[in-house]
Structure 1
Amino acid sequence: MRSTFKVLFYLERNKDKKQFAVPVMGRITVNGSIAQFSAKLSVPESLWEVSGGRAKGKSVEADRINRHLDNIRTQINKYYQAICDRESFVTAEKVKNAYLGFGDKYRLLLEAFEKFTSDLQKRVGIDRSCGIWKRYCRSINHLRSFMRKEYRVSDMPLAELEQSFIEQYHVYLKSDLGLQPTTVCGHLRCLKYVVKIAFNNGWMPRNPFALYQYTAPNPDRIFLTEEELLRMMTTPLRYKRQDYNCDMFLFSCFTGICYADMASLTYDQLEQDANGDWWISGNRQKTETKYVVKLLPYPLFLLDKYRGLAGKCYLFRMSSLDSIDDSLKHIARACGIDKQLSFHLARHTYATTICLSNGVSLETLSKMLGHKNITTTQIYAKVTYPMIAREVDMLKEKLADKFSGV
C-alpha cells in the first residue's frame, strides 16, 4: 500500500517578540509521522498566505519566495520517491534526513555488500582466491532476488535489519533455490561477515545477526578407491581435452594440490634433494599456509608428459574449474565410476586412498595438504575397511602372546 505524503510550509511566529520577517518552517508528513525543518528563509508576515502555505501576490519578492519553496518541495519529493523505490517503509524523519544530507546514517545492505566484494576483488591473487570472490558475487545475486521477492525492495537500510531477515533468507536459500546445506551455510556466512564489517565500521547501531548460528551437517566426503584410480589411469578417452583434464585430476590425486594452487604452479617450485627425489612446495592461495609434497612416480610421469606445454614458467595450462568439473562427469561415465566427480574430490582421494590408507600419519598429511589446523585434516581423513583390517591385524599380533592361554 502506498504511503500518504505531504509537504507544507508555515511561519514560526514568536508571540513574545515583534518580528518584521518571520522564519519559514517546513513540515513533512508521511503516514502520520511528522518531521520539521527550517526552510532557511524569512518572510514578512503581511506577505504570507496561511491557507496556501506560500507568499501571496505577484510581486518580485513573493515570486522569489515561492520559487525557493517550490525548489525545496521538488527536492523533498525526489528523496521521498527514491526511498520508496528501495526501502520497505518510509518515515518523515528518513525523508528529512535525506534532504538535509544526513543520508549516510542509512547505509544500505546491498551497497555495503557490493563495496566489500569490490574491495575483495582487488585482493584476488594477493591474499584471497578467485573462488572466494565469486562466492560473494553469487551471494549478492541471491540476496538481491530474495529482497525483491520477500520485501519487494531493491535494497534495505542496515539499521533496519533484524534477525528475522537472515532466518527468512535461510529458508529462501534452502526451499526456494534448493541449495545444499553446505552451500546455504556458505552464503549465510557471507551475509553475516559483511554485516559484521558494517557494524564494526559504525554503519549500524548493532549487529542483528551476532547471535544467529547455523552449522551445516558434515556430508560424507567421497573419494576414489585404488581400483577406481587405476581405471582412470588406464581407460582410453575419446577426446584429447578429456584426456588432459583427466591427467590434471590424477596429478591432484597423487599430490593433494588443489585447483587454484595447481593453476599457478611454476618450475621454481620444483626442487630436487640430495637423493634425487623431487619435491613441490609453496604457499596455498586460500590460507597462505606452506605445503610440501614429495612427488610419487605417477605425477613425475605427468610432469614429463606435459613439460613445456604451458611455456617456460608454469607447469600446466589449466582449463577453468567449471570446465574441468563438467569434463569429469563424462570421464567418470567412460571409466564406469558411479560417483559425482569434482576436482576437489582429488584432494580427498590423496588424503584417504594415497596417504592414510598406506600408513601416513595425520600430522604429516596436514603439512602436505597445507592445513593450518589438524582438525581440518580430520575432515578429509576417512577410515576405510582396509585401514581397520590392518590396524586390527597389528593389534592381534601384539596381543597374541598376552592372551594365548584364554
Structure 2
Amino acid sequence: MRSTFKVLFYLKRSKGKEQPTVPVMGRITVNGSIAQFSAKLSVPEHLWEVSGGRAKGKSVESDRINRHLDNIRAQINKHYQEICDRDSFVSAEKVKNAYLGFGDKYRMLLEAFEKFTSDYQKRIGIDRCSGTWKRYCKSIDHLRVFMQKEYRVSDMPLAELEQSFIEQFHVYLKSDRGLKPMTVSGYLKCLKYVVKIAFNNGWMPRNPFALYNYTAPNPERSFLTEEELHRMMTTRLRYKRQDYNRDLFLFSCFTGICYADMSALTYDQLEQDTNGDWWISGNRQKTETKYVVKLLPYPLFILDKYRGMAGDRYLFKMSTLDSIDDSLKNIARECGINKQLSFHLARHTYATTICLQNGVSLETLSKMLGHKHITTTQIYAKVTHPMIDREVSMLKEKLQDKFAI
C-alpha cells in the first residue's frame, strides 16, 4: 500500500505581536505522522495565501517566495521517493531528516544536552562540582519549557539551530521567567558550551552561537568590613548550630576557601613548614586550579575547636549550602549586620578586608584563591576608602619634596 504524502507551508504568527514579516514553516505529513521544519524564509503577511500555502499575486517578491518554496518541495519529494524505494518503512520524521541532511550523526539538542549532563555528573567530586551540574540540569528544564512554548516541539535538531534561538531563549529567561542577569548569563553559557561540544564532535555543520556574546553586568560584590567582622566574631549566639555555622563562615573569611572546597577538606591537606606555620593546599573543585593558603591564628583556633568532630579524615561536617545560608541570615540579624549574608560573601571578605586592605598583592591573592586568571581576582578587589587613604598618603610622602609650594 502506497504512503499518503503531503507537503504544505504556513505562517508562524506570534500572538499579540505586530510583525512586518512572518516566518514560513513547512509541514510534512506521511500516513498521519507529522514533522515540521523552518523554511528559512519570512514573508509579508498580506502576500500570503492561506489556502494555497504560498504567496499570492505575480509580483517580483511573490515570484521569489514561490520559487524558494517550490525548490524545497521538490527536494522533499525527491528524498521521499528515495526512502520509499530503499526502505520498507517511511515516516515524516525520516523524510525531514533526509531533507535537512542528517545521516548517522543526526543529533537533537536536548538529547545532546542530557548526555553531556549525565557524563558531567559522573565527574562530581573528582574534577567537577555539584553546583555547576545542577545549573546544567536547570538549563535543560528551562530549554524544554521554552521549546514547547515557542516552537511547540519536545526537542529540536542541532542542525536547525539559528542564532535567533539563543536570542529568544535569552528573552524568555529574562522576561517570562523574570530571572536575574547573572542567572540568565549562567544558563546561556551552559547552552553555548553544549552546542560548542556538539559542533566539535561533528554533529552539526556550523556553530550558530559562536558569535553570540552576552555578559551580565557585574553586581557590586558585598563583603564584611573589619568592624562587621569583629562583631560577627564576638556576638554571643543562642544556638549551638548557629555558633557552628558562624565558625564555618569565619573560617572561610580568614582563608578564602569556598563552600565546595571546605566540604572536601581533609587532614591530609594540612601541612606544617619548618617555621611551625600551618598551610592548606588543594585543587579547587570548580576549576581544578591549585590554591595555597597560610593559616592565620583565627582559623587555627577554629580547627582546634572542632578537631575530630567530623571523624579522622575530614576537617568539617557541613550542612547543605542552602541550610547554612539560611542560618547566616539569622546570624546577621543577631549580630546587627544589615547585609544579605551568604557563604560566598566570606570569600569576598577574605579577598578585600583581610588581604587587599592589608597590602597583599593581586598576584599573591590570585594564587591563594586558586584563580586561573588574575582578571577573576580583580572582581573581588574592592577599592575601599582605607585602601585609597593608604595609597594617597604614600603618594603624598613621595611627592612632597618634588612639588613643594
Q: TM-score category by the smaller chain?
A: 0.7 to 0.9
- Give a deviation string over 1:258-278, Cα, whole Å, max 9, x none: 111111111111111222211
Contact 1:279 / 1:294 at 8 angstroms: preserved in 2? yes
State the shift of 1:206 in Å.
1.3
Equivalent position SS for 2:368: helix
When residues 315 and 6 of structure 1 are mapped into structure 2, their CA distance, relative to the original with a 3 A threshold, is closer
2:96 alignment partner in structure 1: 94
1:190 alignment partner in structure 2: 190
1:223 alignment partner in structure 2: 223
1:247 alignment partner in structure 2: 247
Contact 1:366 / 1:374 at 8 angstroms: preserved in 2? yes
Equivalent position SS for 1:279: strand
Equivalent position SS for 1:396: helix
Distance 1:159 1:6 in 2: 22
1:310 alignment partner in structure 2: 310
Matched, 1:336 2:332: no
2:81 alignment partner in structure 1: 36
- Give a deviation string over 1:273-299, Cα, whole Å, max 9, x none: 222211111121222222111111111
State the shift of 1:342 in Å.
1.3
- Give a deviation string over 1:124-178, Cα, whole Å, max 9, x none: 1222111211111111111111111111111111111111110000001111111
Distance 1:40 1:166 in 2: 39
1:167 alignment partner in structure 2: 167
When residues 108 and 353 of structure 1 are mapped into structure 2, their CA distance, relative to the original with a 3 A threshold, is same
- 1:249-264 pair list within 5 angstroms: 249-264=249-264
2:200 alignment partner in structure 1: 200
Distance 2:272 2:324 in 1: 30
State the shift of 1:356 in Å.
0.6
State the shift of 1:93 in Å.
2.1
Residue range with higher mean Cα deviation, 30-39 or 296-305: 30-39
Structure 2 gap ranges (5+): 1-9, 11-25, 33-71
Contact 2:28 / 2:96 at 8 angstroms: preserved in 1? no
- 1:279-298 pair list within 5 angstroms: 279-298=279-298
Contact 1:223 / 1:349 at 8 angstroms: preserved in 2? yes
Equivalent position SS for 1:293: strand
Matched, 1:143 2:140: no
State the shift of 1:401 in Å.
2.8
Equivalent position SS for 2:300: helix
Contact 2:254 / 2:296 at 8 angstroms: preserved in 1? yes
- Give a deviation string over 1:209-251, Cα, whole Å, max 9, x none: 1111111111111111011111111222232222211111110
1:346 alignment partner in structure 2: 346
2:211 alignment partner in structure 1: 211
1:64 alignment partner in structure 2: none
State the shift of 1:205 in Å.
1.5
Percent of aligned pairs with the same residue?
78
State the shift of 1:31 in Å.
8.8
- Give a deviation string over 1:26-69, Cα, whole Å, max 9, x none: xxxx999532146569xxxxxxxxxxxxxxxxxxxxxxxxxxx9
Contact 1:270 / 1:278 at 8 angstroms: preserved in 2? yes
1:111 alignment partner in structure 2: 111
- Give a deviation string over 1:100-143, Cα, whole Å, max 9, x none: xx764541100000000011111112221112111111111111
Distance 1:174 1:38 in 2: 43
Distance 1:95 1:382 in 2: 54
Equivalent position SS for 1:203: coil
Query: One-letter code of the match for 2:246?
Result: C
State the shift of 1:399 in Å.
2.2
1:51 alignment partner in structure 2: none
When residues 243 and 170 of structure 1 are mapped into structure 2, their CA distance, relative to the original with a 3 A threshold, is same
1:87 alignment partner in structure 2: none
Query: One-letter code of the match for 2:338?
Result: D
Equivalent position SS for 2:343: coil
RMSD (Å), alpha carbons: 2.5
How many aligned positions are there?
338
Equivalent position SS for 1:282: strand
Equivalent position SS for 1:36: helix
Contact 2:83 / 2:95 at 8 angstroms: preserved in 1? no
Matched, 1:5 2:29: yes
State the shift of 1:317 in Å.
0.5
Contact 1:97 / 1:103 at 8 angstroms: preserved in 2? no
